[in-house]
Copies of this chain bind each other. A is one copy, B any other.
Amino acid sequence: MYEREIEVFKALSNETRLKILKWLKEPEKNFPPQGLHIPEGDSFDHSVCVGSIQEKAGISQSVASHYLDILQKAGLLESARYGKWTYYRRNEANIKKFAEMMQKDL
C-alpha cells in the first residue's frame, strides 16, 4: 500500500533533486538555451539536456543521470532522446495529480 506515493516522497527527499524539479519550471531562466539538437516540428518543449542540469547542479555525470532517472520513475519528469542527447522536462500532468492527491488524502 502507498508504494507509488512513497516513491514520489523519496524522490523529493533530496535537495538536489528538488532543486532540479523547481529549476525545470523555468528552463529559459535557469539553463542555457536548449533544443539545439531537437529537430524542427518535433519540439519537446521546455526540456533541458542532462549536461546542462549536471553543470547547474554541480554534481557528477553519473549522479545526474541517476537522479533524473529517479525523478522520472517517480513520474515527476519525462524524457526524450534526440541523437546523443537526452532531454528532460517536468511531467506537469503527473505533478498536478500528485499535488491534488496531497490536498485530498494527506
How many chain A residues touch B (Cβ–Cβ < 8 Å)?
23
Q: Tell which of A3, A5, A99, A100 has the most Cβ of chain B within 10 Å.
A: A99
> Which residues of A48-101 are within 8 A (CB) of B?
95, 98-100
> Chain A at the B interface: mostly helix, strand, loop or mixed?
helix
Which one, B3, B9, B15, B103, contacts A99 given CB within 8 A? Answer: B103
CB neighbours (8 Å) of A15 from chain B are 1-3, 6
Does A43 make an interface contact (CB < 8 A)? no
Q: Give, as a whole number of angstroms, the nearest-CB distance from A56 to chain B.
A: 14
Minimum-distance CB pairs A-B, first 6: A9-B13, A9-B12, A99-B102, A10-B13, A99-B103, A9-B9
